[in-house]
Structure 1
Amino acid sequence: MLESWRTKVAKQQPHYQAEDKLTEITQTLRTRPGLVYATEIERLTGELAAAGRGESFVLMGGDCAETFATTTEEQIRLKIQTILQMGVVLSYGASLPVVKIGRIAGQYAKPRSLDVEKRADESLPVYRGDAVNGIAYTAEERQADPSRLLEMYQHCLATLNLIRAYTKGGFADINLLHKWNEGFKTNPAYSRYESLAEDIRRALKFMVASGAEIEGLRDQDFYASHEALLLEYEAAMIRPAPHNDGLYNTSGHFLWIGERTRDIEGAHVELLSKVKNPIGVKLGPTATASEVLALSEKLNPQNLPGKFTAITRMGAEQIRNVLPPILAAVQAEGKEVVWLSDPMHGNTIQTDSGIKTRHFDTIFNEVEGFFASHQAVGTVAGGLHIELTGDDVTEVLGGAENLTEVDLEQRYESLVDPRLNHQQSLEMAFRVAELLQNGTNENLS
């Protein structure tokens, strides 16, 4: 029963006043073409299965929350470019293919800690993302509007069309790496990574000079992912496949369930247990081995490689203690799990002036802890899940640019959580590449 999720507790859902309009919108969505194809979803599942075996490495990155206003050609191009650049660096460092997945074309809604926001003596519904309501602090803007679901669909459609044009139309040519890296040369960290960057350039130059087949390096597979938060939208985007009897959520290739909605008896887990997409689940520091095993059984009952991904977001101070026992238990049960590190969400802090931020060194510390945990247990560190942007924003402290609290005020543009900027993203890729070159680094502590 596809509708069985309606009998479960559905957390983090908007409160729509116009139920009849919501029904009309979701019925319209059911008649629209899917945004992605079943064959693409199956291909991604196979690539994730390889990552679970240590035969590839996953890079998932993009905005904390997309907005309708920033769904522009330039913004999309910069995000794609940043992820492709990072992918080349990581691929060389790991000597493995990199599976590139964007937090894109669907990340228009966010879970929130509170249902209302209070300013002075007035309380209004909290901003839940452009797919739900507006950020302006007015009663009209903050009312949940079902028509925004259809607007989100249109933005996702346009974004995916542009992604396909870029990644299959020459823009993703790996031989452009040296041109893309020009801007990074001004970063103080570049001298540290110049040798690695030069090694990559020489390898590409050698391939061209030797007449090696490089057509496969001109086009790139690029997948779309988002948190499957808005259940009415996600349910409306589920379609039967023309070539088998399976159901696929065509809102994105890869969908994940957040830390706040991963209840094994909840509506989110119930709905996504019905589809063949690869499914991820965010795991915070309170996660237990029994919970992970139960989620794996529910979302991947056939124990298929690549179907279930655990995305850890435990915080730099806790990951080395919390993660290893979970890894060991899952390994002992023989469960097929792809493990990704989300080093962003467990390390959010506030400045004295109330600005939400993160520190680059703390983020990387959690990445190190993730790799160290896998090395200790003998499991595979499958990849990274990073909030980033292709713009030169100033939202995360530190990095080679040494951004300070004063710098945050220059270009803090995220409406929800802080992201690595373009320079910090590349720096992260080079630092992780060093870990991968060392075989996840036996010297990590």
Structure 2
Amino acid sequence: MNKWTKGSWKNFPVQQQPTYNNLEQLQRELQKIKQVPPVITKEEVQNFKKQLKEVSQGERVILHMGDCAERFTDCTPQIITQKQIFMEICSEIIQNITGKKVLKVGRIAGQFGKPRSQEYDEQGIYNYKGDNINSLDINDRTPDPQKLYQGFLCTLSTVNIIRGNFINFLDDHRNYQSIKNQMTDHFRTLSNHEHVVDVIDLLDKCQDSFNQMYPSEEEIEQHKKCINNRQQYDQESENKHQILLQNINEHGNNLKSEMMRTSHEGLILDLEEAQTFETSQGEFYNLSTDFLWVGLRTNQIDGAHIEYVRGIKNPIGVKIGPQTTEEQFLSICSIVNPENKNNKLIIIPRLGAKNIKNVLPKLIQTKIKNNLNFIWMLDAMHGNTETENSFKVRKIDNIISEIKDFCQILHQYNQQIGGLSLEATHEDVTECLGTGIDSHNLCTNYKTACDPRLNGLQTLQILYEFTNYHNQLINNDTQNYLNQIEQQQDSAYLSQNKSPKQQFQMKQTQNFSSVNA
């Protein structure tokens, strides 16, 4: 295999790259990005890999969620905070129903570029490819290199807002709970769907438990006064204060370790190269994000995108479709994850409800036969896209069907259910069909920049279905195991209480059965 460098991808066929008219301007914008300190640190990426190891061992589950394509206009503290709160709500649902920790990964802070199946639309107009390439405005579709730097600034701002919010959540957790409650109360007013109501009731119960565990503002103030006035600080106050500190510190440490991670599709390779840094140990990290993935349109094993990601230390996702061959699948695994680690590669099937039963078992069998290590995470959206009244749509029933088949098939082969990837928003959009949205009200609030997203209510319903089906599979296993134990105990008891002749006859019957099996 050829020697890897940050720019070795340029020696390979490359797909889905914008064509710029002003190459000198492109180099100026890339140089500006290279001169700015990185968005994140290598230590953050390394910590993310530790969390992925827990996913591979079944201790965590990934929730990968966010917009299909981020907009520069959404790069505001208010909107980013709402996205962050929505991620917290959704992860609480998974954690409280399954009992597993959730690795929260947003499609956020860099998801500004989109691959398209066609370069031009039916009218011959250059397609919108994301805010860091061109504009939704049909009069501003020429790729503009200055948008790359604008996208970088939005990425940097978004990460800083996410970090700042988390510090604020730690300092004033009751205010954080209040903001979260406002969102869940809003969802409650919109729907009487049984599963949505069940999920919100669950969140309310979690809030009650939190209120009992976490000290009130009055308690905190009282203990602060005790610290400042030591003569009133008796042993009982000391004990209460230590318990208070322990609760705050434990909860704070949990929050710090569970901060939402960022991710985007590694699409524009000039941009990704500009954000790739070499460490003193000679290792390379893309320090614009925790997690990059390669899309289905750019996952060619002899292509530039696979060449680029094979050389960086970040965890990498690769999307797999119905047409992906066994040879390509094996090559992707060996190229991207040559050391066969369990926290390096995330395979993301995007198969669709119609294809998953035929395709996924073959992929799993290939994985098992070749002793491959990676994490399975389902893209439940892109294989289920249809057209309805000239709108791109996705049907909730198809999404749920694919999720359940994904869980059932992985469980059948004793594979860990690694995670779920959803294009979703907290907003009350009308882009996917189901949970109160039909073809008649589809146009009411259809506002996606590219592909249809789940709204808040639809997301809650899907997570309810996912988590409960996940638990059902585990509970069935537990019950089957208990039944086997009970049968073994019954057989042992009967054997002990039979005459020697009866025991001999039973043994002969068992031997006969095993021979004929």
Which of the five TM-score ranges fits, normalised by the shorter chain?
over 0.9
Q: Which residue of 1 aligns with 2:57?
A: 53
1:358 lines up with 2:364 in the alignment? no
**1:66-123 deviation digits (Å, cap 9, x = unpaired):** 111222222212211111100011011221110000000111110111111242xxx2
Q: Which residue of 1 aligns with 2:79?
A: 75
Distance 1:394 1:101 in 2: 24
Q: Which residue of 2 aligns with 1:367?
A: 403
Which of 271, 277, 280 is equivalent to 2:317? 280
1:348 lines up with 2:376 in the alignment? no
- Worse overlay, 309-318 or 184-193: 184-193
Segments ≥4 residues shifted beyond 6 Å: none
Q: 1:206 to 1:434 in 2, by over 3 A?
A: farther
Q: Which residue of 2 aligns with 1:289?
A: 326
1:376 lines up with 2:412 in the alignment? yes
Larger radius of gyration: 2
CA RMSD in angstroms, aligned pairs only: 2.1
Distance 1:276 1:380 in 2: 23
Which of 158, 182, 186 is equivalent to 1:183? 186
- Worse overlay, 301-310 or 229-238: 301-310
TM-score in terms of structure 1 length = 0.92
Code of the residue aligned with 1:342 in structure 2: it is D
Q: Aligned with 1:386: secondary structure?
A: strand
Code of the residue aligned with 2:418 in structure 1: it is G
Q: Is the 8 A contact 2:424 2:455 kept in 1?
A: yes
**Structure 2 counterparts to residues 122-271 of structure 1, below 5 A:** 123-138=124-139, 141-170=140-169, 173=173, 180-186=183-189, 187-189=191-193, 190-193=196-199, 196-197=202-203, 199-201=205-207, 203-205=209-211, 207-208=213-214, 213-219=250-256, 220-241=258-279, 244-271=281-308
Q: Is the 8 A contact 1:372 1:442 kept in 2?
A: no
Q: Aligned with 1:170: secondary structure?
A: helix
Code of the residue aligned with 2:47 in structure 1: it is R
Code of the residue aligned with 2:111 in structure 1: it is Q
More helix by share: 2
Distance 1:388 1:329 in 2: 32
* TM-fit CA distance, 1:441: 6.9
Q: 1:175 to 1:5 in 2, by over 3 A?
A: same
* TM-fit CA distance, 1:217: 4.4
Code of the residue aligned with 1:168 in structure 2: it is I
* TM-fit CA distance, 1:161: 0.6
Distance 2:253 2:472 in 1: 27
1:395 lines up with 2:395 in the alignment? no
- Worse overlay, 52-61 or 177-186: 177-186
* TM-fit CA distance, 1:198: 5.1
1:88 lines up with 2:126 in the alignment? no
**1:307-352 deviation digits (Å, cap 9, x = unpaired):** 100111100111112101211211232221111011100000111x
Code of the residue aligned with 1:297 in structure 2: it is S
Structure 2, gaps ≥5 residues long? 216-242, 478-517
Q: Is the 8 A contact 2:67 2:425 kept in 1?
A: yes
Q: Is the 8 A contact 1:327 1:377 kept in 2?
A: yes
Distance 1:290 1:118 in 2: 35
Q: 1:19 to 1:420 in 2, by over 3 A?
A: same
Q: Is the 8 A contact 1:320 1:372 kept in 2?
A: no
Code of the residue aligned with 1:185 in structure 2: it is R
Code of the residue aligned with 2:210 in structure 1: it is L
Aligned residues: 434
- Worse overlay, 72-81 or 103-112: 72-81
Q: Is the 8 A contact 2:430 2:446 kept in 1?
A: yes
Q: Which residue of 2 aligns with 1:4?
A: 8
Q: Is the 8 A contact 1:324 1:376 kept in 2?
A: no
Q: Aligned with 2:445: secondary structure?
A: coil
Q: Is the 8 A contact 2:69 2:130 kept in 1?
A: yes
Distance 2:372 2:391 in 1: 41
Q: Is the 8 A contact 1:331 1:379 kept in 2?
A: no
Q: 1:232 to 1:440 in 2, by over 3 A?
A: farther
Structure 1, gaps ≥5 residues long? none
**1:343-367 deviation digits (Å, cap 9, x = unpaired):** 100000111x201111111111111
**Structure 2 counterparts to residues 297-308 of structure 1, below 5 A:** 297-308=334-345
* TM-fit CA distance, 1:216: 3.2
* TM-fit CA distance, 1:19: 1.1
Distance 1:201 1:436 in 2: 24
